[in-house]
């Protein structure tokens, strides 16, 4: 069942604000703290992917819309990425150590690219390259990584039946499925880079690439990626929550 409010750390994708400032809210209580999301694409590394993130106001409901197209990066000879991300300002962090044996719950709707949205159809294949990442100052950087903070990343898919008639569904990504050692070429932890380096996944929960209580105690950002798979994508995100197992 749904965890009690004391058992989750919730990060709604958008707050009830009206300005398209891409603000978000991190809360453990009724007192909200606001952060901003930004959208980034692989042209920073020579790619041609394009995407955008916007706030959708629909009656009393608001959510984030992440959409675009992932294209091949010529010098990588592989598909690039789009992502929307937030890093908490002023060195702030959130303590999610108590949820280490649980995971991230993302409440989302999938739009078939080119369809009519709302999770209710539209033609086209479901995009297969979605990933989520949690950043922490204590997380190790992946091989060849140049980000300011290390981050734990894992795949998630949007297949399955919606949990409600309006199309929203909850996707759970266990923290123990996330690895800090993911490839710039694929976004995956199980692939080998052209230089011969074999990336490492979190398999038992005890490997150095796995999240641990210390690093989960200093979460300072999140990001959702469309990466490593070429194609159009569109995703609506209502909230991101850290939840306990069960």
pLDDT of 45:
64
pLDDT confidence of residue 60: 79
Q: Could you tell me the pTM of the whole model? A: 0.82
**Amino acid 235: pLDDT:** 94
Q: Is the pLDDT of residue 5 over 50?
A: no
Cβ-in-10-Å burial (0-12, 13-18, 19+) of 53 comes to buried
Distance CA 216, CA 109 (A): 27
- Which two three-digit tokens encode residue 69? 């197209």
pLDDT in tens, 111-152: 766 544 444 333 346 899 999 999 999 999 988 777 789 999
Among the residues of the chain, which ranges form H helices? 213-216
pLDDT tens, position by position, 51-82: 999 888 888 778 889 999 999 888 777 899 99
Average pLDDT of the residues of the chain: 80
Q: For position 33, what pLDDT does the model report?
A: 55
Contact 246, 14 (CB under 8 A): no
């Amino acid at each position: 069942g749904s965890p009690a409010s004391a058992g989750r750390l919730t990060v709604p994708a958008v707050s009830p604000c009206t300005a398209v400032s891409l603000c978000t809210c991190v809360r453990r209580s009724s007192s909200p703290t606001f952060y901003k999301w930004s959208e980034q694409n692989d042209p920073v590394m020579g790619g041609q992917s394009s995407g955008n993130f916007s706030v959708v106001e629909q009656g009393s409901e608001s959510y984030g819309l992440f959409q675009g197209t992932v294209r091949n990066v010529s010098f990588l000879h592989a598909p690039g990425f789009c992502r929307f991300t937030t890093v908490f300002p002023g060195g702030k962090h959130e303590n999610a150590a108590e949820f280490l044996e649980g995971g991230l719950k993302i409440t989302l709707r999938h739009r078939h690219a080119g369809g009519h949205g709302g999770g209710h159809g539209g033609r086209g294949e479901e995009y297969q390259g979605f990933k989520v990442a949690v950043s922490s100052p204590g997380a190790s950087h992946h091989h060849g990584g140049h980000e300011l903070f290390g981050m734990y990343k894992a795949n998630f898919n949007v297949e399955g039946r919606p949990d409600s008639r309006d199309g929203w569904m909850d996707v759970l990504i266990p923290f123990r499925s996330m690895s800090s050692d993911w490839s710039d070429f694929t976004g995956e932890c199980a692939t080998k880079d052209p230089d011969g380096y074999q990336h490492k996944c979190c398999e038992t929960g005890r490997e150095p690439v796995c999240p641990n209580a210390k690093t989960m105690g200093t979460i300072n950002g999140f990001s959702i990626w469309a990466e490593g798979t070429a194609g159009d994508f569109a995703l609506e995100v209502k909230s991101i929550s850290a939840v306990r197992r069960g």
